[in-house]
Chains A and B, each alone.
Chain A
Amino acid sequence: MVLFSLICLFAFKAEHTPYNEYYQSSLSRFSTEQEKLLLNIKDADLTTPAGIGVVKTGIKQARLKLKAIDFWLRYLEPVVYKKINGPLPVEWENEVFEKFEKPYKRLGAGLSLAELYLNNKGSDLQKDSLLQLIRISQNALNTYTADSVTSQLKTPDHFFLCNRLYLLNLAAIYTTGFECPDNGNIIPELKVMMQDVRKIYASFGQSFPGAKLSDDYLELYARAMTFVNVQPDDFEQFDHFTFLKEYVNPLFAINQRLIRQYNVISVSFNDYTLNNSCNSIFDKSLYTPQNSMGIYSLIEDTAVLSEIRAVGKLLFYDPLLSGNNSRTCVSCHKSKEYFTDTAMATSFNFDHIHFLPRNTPSLVNVIYNHLLMLDGRHISLQNQAKDVMTNPAEMGGKKEDIMDKILSCKEYKTAFRKFLKYTPEEKEITFDHIASAITYYYKDFSGYYSPFDDAMNQNRPLSPDARKGFNLFMSKAQCATCHYVPQFNGVPPPYIGSEFEVIGVPADISYSKLSEDSGRYKINTAYETMNAFRTGNLRNLEYTKPYMHNGVFTTLDQVIDFYDAGGGTGKKLSVPNQSLSTDSLKLTATEKKELLSFLHSLNEAVIFENPPGSLPVSSRKELNSRRVGGDY
């Protein structure tokens, strides 16, 4: 009985910490605001500008209350969050721990979509549809008062992980207009959100005195708020660069330190790829990329690993991997051209007459994509490598044939026999041993940094034009709503999924028609995925022309012009499901120049090794006339 009372007392106490109370009351404030909004909509005459204005004001008010709790909502139940503030009506997701499964369809609802609906529907506006978008959000909010969620609030762990995601979002999306249809509200909302998060910090500090945010964190956060408060409300005038460099990134480093110090334990998939020992958002260890080791994953012996790498390098340059003993990986991924082919829109087919449908991607930074190929058809680097070798249009080899040829070389055979001992689950040398050696070799291409990273990580100077260009990138040019900090690829925080977008790339430079490649649709047949492609990485752009999935653009000016016009739709092509804004960006010539200057600051100091001097000798004499790197 005494025990029971004690348990009750304890439970009672835990429910009523200042922190928990602040959580519950903040949730109620948002809920009340949404109730008001629902009444507003019911009463409003949506055929008049005044009526629409009333609803818009209601949405604006509700958004502020949402921003006050975004810190928790986005982390604690990320899937449910899409019903409260979804960026798109329909999203197809395939996250890193679910790569083996089919993409999930997620329906969005909530304030952003309601606002877009209000802006875009014109005379078709249906009150019921608008009400429904808010009702779904209001219902979804109940999830956050369920025991399964609130029980996490009883220990400090979730707080530092929520905070990490909050900081990553400050870096990548909160200042860019992602999930905020009215650009005028972005910075005002940011100002309010930062104040409200400080209230969360305060109530947390009261309830968990043993696991406080450190003084240096709170002091820097206060300075960040001061900085933001004196910034202009126009997100185009906001100094994104300084905000990220001087405030958000150092706050992230302190929060990471606290995660380690307090031995924070995650119970959320949000943290699946994030690395607790990383101290900068622009450190390439921020999130776990593709597994490049494949079958060799469990090997720790560095001497053996460097032997595997050396064999991988030989294979990368060895024509034996192809069906005609002349094509190699470097035929298309040229080692002097950032491992892409800058001379051709798309590479030659294996027959050397036709062309492949898609541009050769650079292998630099390819490991930071959770799904591979522009349609995301492969979930691992090894599967992708095996596909290229055996694809009749690419290297045209046959698995058994390649194995025979490789193992006819004594040097390879000895090496793979040795590696076999380290993979006891395999009875014999397999195709995976070959593919994994290649991927293990080329992952090193992704380990380099750019002047922009150096500015963020090491306080190196960055040219004023590049800084202005970054601020444009994050605001007016609308690049950052799809190319996320820090990789500038389609992987948004918390870096567990790759995104696809429909931008309406033309088949030719004269925009006579839309490219016929259906893209992601080939893998996941849905209206939204027609002509969708995985968002590309913007690092090393200067050296990786031509651009787009079909290599249609040969200069970055053409690319910027395409986006400036509003993508395919802006260029008068019919792209009914375009996910890119169809409005013109109205960039000036100076702005375009600054944007280019920023993009050039993403050129990485990649060190290109020389090709191997020679290739292993085969016991089959006819194979020994092959050349290092082969022919095309």
Chain B
Amino acid sequence: MFLFTLLCCLVFCQCAHHYKVTYNIPDNYPEAKRDELMATLEKGKILFKTNCSECHGIFTKGKADVTNFTNAQLDNYNSRFLRRDPKNHGVINKMSQEQMNEVLLFLKFKKPRNPDSVKVMPRKRF
């Protein structure tokens, strides 16, 4: 029984660990640019996983009261970043513009884990 529980736990952890991200890419996104976009999203994914996910979730449980970035939260976060809000912690202020763009694109195009909870809609930055 104990072994079985342990096994279940392990399987569960593995599943959680191997959460596979899928993307919502609009149908009218130019075919020629898709590979480029996918490469960017992949970079954004890794940057997020390495630098942000511990608190902001998506690849982990994250921390309570820390945003896991619905689109509305993302816009809010981005504008706070642009205002140099000191409540925004250091990592994002250190990123280069390119890295920042990669992470933001990843979060924008990522399919939410629970599709009912979030509406995906393209929004203007401000």
| Contact residues of A between 235 and 285, Cβ < 8 Å to B | 263, 265-269, 271-272, 276
Measured between beta carbons, the chain A residues less than 8 angstroms from B84 are 266, 271-272
Measured between beta carbons, the chain B residues less than 8 angstroms from A276 are 86
Residue of chain A at shortest CB distance from B96:
A297
| Contact residues of B between 26 and 50, Cβ < 8 Å to A | 42-44, 46-47, 50
Q: Is A97 an interface residue (CB 8 A)?
A: yes
| B46 touching A424, Cβ below 8 Å | yes
| B99 touching A298, Cβ below 8 Å | yes
Complex formed: what's the CA distance from A268 to B102 in Å?
A: 24
Q: Is A291 an interface residue (CB 8 A)?
A: yes
| A298 touching B91, Cβ below 8 Å | yes
Say how far A268's CB is from chain B's closest CB, in angstroms: 7
Contact pick for A269, options B82, B96, B98, B101, CB 8 Å: B82
Measured between beta carbons, the chain A residues less than 8 angstroms from B50 are 424-425
Q: Is A426 an interface residue (CB 8 A)?
A: yes
Given the interface pairs A265-B86, A266-B85, A272-B83, the reply to whether A298 lies near B95 with Cβ below 8 Å is yes
| B97 touching A298, Cβ below 8 Å | no
| Contact residues of A between 366 and 399, Cβ < 8 Å to B | 379-380, 382
Q: Is A29 an interface residue (CB 8 A)?
A: no
Given the interface pairs A424-B46, A424-B50, the reply to whether A293 lies near B96 with Cβ below 8 Å is yes
Complex formed: what's the CA distance from A283 to B7 in Å?
A: 60
Measured between beta carbons, the chain A residues less than 8 angstroms from B42 are 425
Q: Is B94 an interface residue (CB 8 A)?
A: yes
Q: Is B17 an interface residue (CB 8 A)?
A: no
Measured between beta carbons, the chain A residues less than 8 angstroms from B46 are 424-425
Measured between beta carbons, the chain A residues less than 8 angstroms from B102 are 425
Given the interface pairs A425-B43, A425-B47, the reply to whether A294 lies near B83 with Cβ below 8 Å is no
Complex formed: what's the CA distance from A276 to B84 in Å?
A: 11
Say how far B27's CB is from chain A's closest CB, in angstroms: 25
| A266 touching B43, Cβ below 8 Å | no
| B96 touching A295, Cβ below 8 Å | yes
Given the interface pairs A265-B87, A297-B99, A380-B97, the reply to whether A97 lies near B43 with Cβ below 8 Å is no
Known: A291-B96, A425-B43. 20 other contacts (CB 8 A): A263-B86, A265-B86, A265-B87, A266-B84, A271-B84, A272-B83, A276-B86, A293-B96, A295-B96, A297-B96, A298-B94, A298-B99, A379-B97, A380-B96, A380-B98, A382-B96, A424-B47, A424-B50, A425-B44, A425-B102
Residues of A within 8 A of B (CB): 97, 99-100, 263, 265-269, 271-272, 276, 291, 293-295, 297-298, 379-380, 382, 424-426
What 3 pairs across the A-B complex have the smallest Cβ distances? A425-B43, A425-B46, A297-B96
Residues of B within 8 A of A (CB): 42-44, 46-47, 50-51, 82-87, 91, 94-99, 101-102
